[in-house]
Structure 1
Amino acid sequence: MENNQLSVKYQTDAQFQPPAPASDEIDLRELFSALWKGKWIIIATTFLFAVAGVLYALSLPNIYKADALLAPAESSGGGLSKMASQFGGLASLAGVSLGGGEASQTDLAAEVIKSRQFVNAFIAKHELMVPLMASKGWNLSKNELIYDDEIYNVETNTWLREPKGLRGSEPSEQEMYEAFLKEVLSVGSDKKSGFYTLSIKHYSPYLAKQWTDWLIEDINKVMRERTIKETTQNLVYLENQLEKTAIADMQTSFYSLIEEQTKNLMLAEVQDEFVFKVIDRAVVPELKAEPKRALICILAALIGGVLGVLIAFANDAYRKNSRKLGTEF
Structure 2
Amino acid sequence: MHFGSEETGDNFFLATLVKYLISKSVYLISAGALCFILAIFYSLQLPNIYQSEALLAPTSNESANGNLASLAGQFGGLASMAGINLGGSNQLDKTKLAISILKSKHFTNEFIEKRGILPELMAAKAWDMDSNTIIYDEELYDTENNKWVRVVEKPLKPRPSLQEAYEVFIEIVEIKEDADVGVFTLSVEHVSPYTAKLWVDWLIEDINELIKKREMDEALRSSEYLHAQLEETQVEEMRDALYRLIEEQAKTVMLAQVREEYVFQTIDPALVPEKKLKPSRALICILGGIIGFVLMALCFTVRFCIGIAPSPQQGERLS
TM-score when normalising by structure 1: 0.85
- Select which of 6, 26, 31 maps to 1:45: 31
Q: Is the 8 A contact 1:80 1:260 kept in 2?
A: no
> Which residue does the alignment assign to 1:172?
161
- Select which of 114, 117, 121 maps to 2:110: 121
Aligned positions, number: 307
Root-mean-square deviation (CA, aligned residues, Å) is: 2.4
Task: Please state whether the residue corresponding to 2:260 is helix, strand or coil.
Answer: coil
> Which residue does the alignment assign to 1:110?
99
For 1:232-271, list aligned pairs within 5 A.
232-271=220-259
Task: Please state whether the residue corresponding to 1:165 is helix, strand or coil.
Answer: coil
> Which residue does the alignment assign to 2:317?
none
> Which residue does the alignment assign to 2:129?
140
Q: Distance in 2 between matches of 1:243 and 1:325?
A: 107
> Which residue does the alignment assign to 2:64?
79
Q: Is the 8 A contact 2:65 2:91 kept in 1?
A: no
Q: Is the 8 A contact 1:78 1:264 kept in 2?
A: no
> Which residue does the alignment assign to 2:219?
231
Q: Is the 8 A contact 2:53 2:200 kept in 1?
A: yes
> Which residue does the alignment assign to 1:56?
42
Q: Distance in 2 between matches of 1:20 and 1:92?
A: 80
> Which residue does the alignment assign to 2:52?
66
Q: Distance in 1 between matches of 2:156 and 2:243?
A: 55
Q: Is the 8 A contact 2:219 2:253 kept in 1?
A: yes
Given the superposition, is the C-alpha separation of residues 242 and 30 from structure 1 closer, same or farther in structure 2, using an over 3 Å criterion?
A: same
- Select which of 180, 201, 205 maps to 2:189: 201
Q: Distance in 1 between matches of 2:185 and 2:150?
A: 35
Q: Which runs of 5+ in 1 are unaligned?
A: 1-17
Given the superposition, is the C-alpha separation of residues 37 and 316 from structure 1 closer, same or farther in structure 2, using an over 3 Å criterion?
A: farther
Given the superposition, is the C-alpha separation of residues 62 and 86 from structure 1 closer, same or farther in structure 2, using an over 3 Å criterion?
A: same
Given the superposition, is the C-alpha separation of residues 34 and 105 from structure 1 closer, same or farther in structure 2, using an over 3 Å criterion?
A: same
Q: Which amino acid aligns with 1:181?
A: I
Q: Is the 8 A contact 1:78 1:101 kept in 2?
A: no
Q: Which amino acid aligns with 1:106?
A: T
Q: Distance in 2 between matches of 1:177 and 1:69?
A: 23
TM-score when normalising by structure 2: 0.88
Range moving further from structure 2, 263-272 or 83-92: 83-92
Q: Is the 8 A contact 2:16 2:312 kept in 1?
A: no
> Which residue does the alignment assign to 2:276?
288
Q: Distance in 1 between matches of 2:2 and 2:288?
A: 47
Q: Distance in 1 between matches of 2:78 and 2:17?
A: 81
| Residue 193 (structure 1) shift | 1.3
Q: Distance in 1 between matches of 2:63 and 2:111?
A: 27
Q: Is the 8 A contact 2:82 2:222 kept in 1?
A: no
Given the superposition, is the C-alpha separation of residues 285 and 20 from structure 1 closer, same or farther in structure 2, using an over 3 Å criterion?
A: closer
Q: Distance in 2 between matches of 1:209 and 1:164?
A: 34
Q: Which runs of 5+ in 2 are unaligned?
A: 315-319
Deviations 1:56-105 (A, max 9, x none): 11110001110000000114x86246414532344224443346421211
